Chains A and B, each alone.
Chain A
Amino acid sequence: MKNTEEIFNLLKEKFGEAIIELKADQPVEAFITVNPLELDKICKYLAETDELKFDSLMNLSGVDEANGESTKDEEGNLTITGGTLSVFYHLESTSLKHKLTLKVSAPRENAEVTSVSEIWKCADWHEREAYDLIGIKFLNHPDLRRILMPYDWEAGHPLQKDYRNPEYYQGMKVPY
Chain B
Amino acid sequence: MALKTEEMILNMGPQHPSTHGVLRLELQLEGELIVNVVPHIGYLHRCFEKHAEAMTYPQVIPYTDRMDYLASMYNEFGYALAVEKLLNIEIPERVEYIRVIMGELQRIASHLVAIGTYGADIGAFTPFLFCFRDREKILSLYEMTCGARLLYNYIWVGGVSHDLHPDFLRLTKEFIDYFRPKITELNNLLSYNKIFIERTANVGILKKDVAVNYGITGPMLRASGMKWDLRKDDPYSVYDKFDFDIPVGDGRMGTVGDSWDRYFVRVLEMEESLKIIEQAIAQIPEGDVTSAIPKRIKPPVGQVYSRVENPRGELGYFIMSNGTPNPFRIKVRGPSFINLAVINELCKDLLVADVITILGSIDIVLGEVDR
Contacts and interface: CB of A to CB of B under 8 A. Distances in A.
A and B in direct contact, judged by CB atoms within 8 A:
yes
B333 interface: yes
Interface string B37-60: 000011001010110000000000
Interface stretch (B182-190, B276-284, B299-307): B299-307
A172 interface: no
Contact of B303 (A28, A121, A124, A148): A28
Interface residues of A, number: 31
Interface of A: 26-29, 31, 55-59, 61, 63-64, 88, 90, 94, 97, 101, 120-122, 124-125, 133, 146-150, 158-159
B341 A90 contact: no
B147 interface: no
A155 B312 CA distance: 34
A97 B331 contact: no
Contacts of B314: 58
Contacts of A31: 303
Given A63-B329, A120-B215, A121-B213, A58 B305 contact: yes
A122 B86 contact: no
Interface of B: 41-42, 45, 47, 49-50, 85-86, 88, 212-215, 226, 228, 233, 299-305, 307, 314, 316, 318, 320, 329, 331, 333, 337-338, 341, 370-371
Contacts of A149: 42, 45
A58 B307 contact: yes
B320 A122 contact: no
A27 B300 contact: yes
A27 B304 contact: yes
A148 B370 CA distance: 7
B318 A122 contact: no
B316 A58 contact: yes
B278 to A, nearest CB: 30
A55 B50 contact: no
Nearest to B216: A122
Given A26-B302, A55-B212, A158 B47 contact: yes
Contacts of A121: 213-215, 341
21 contacts: A26-B300, A26-B302, A27-B304, A58-B305, A59-B305, A59-B318, A59-B331, A59-B333, A94-B212, A94-B226, A94-B228, A120-B215, A121-B341, A122-B213, A122-B338, A125-B341, A133-B49, A148-B41, A148-B370, A158-B47, A158-B50
A94 B222 CA distance: 13
A152 to B, nearest CB: 12
Contacts of B333: 58-59
Contacts of B85: 28
Contact of B331 (A56, A61, A125, A147): A61
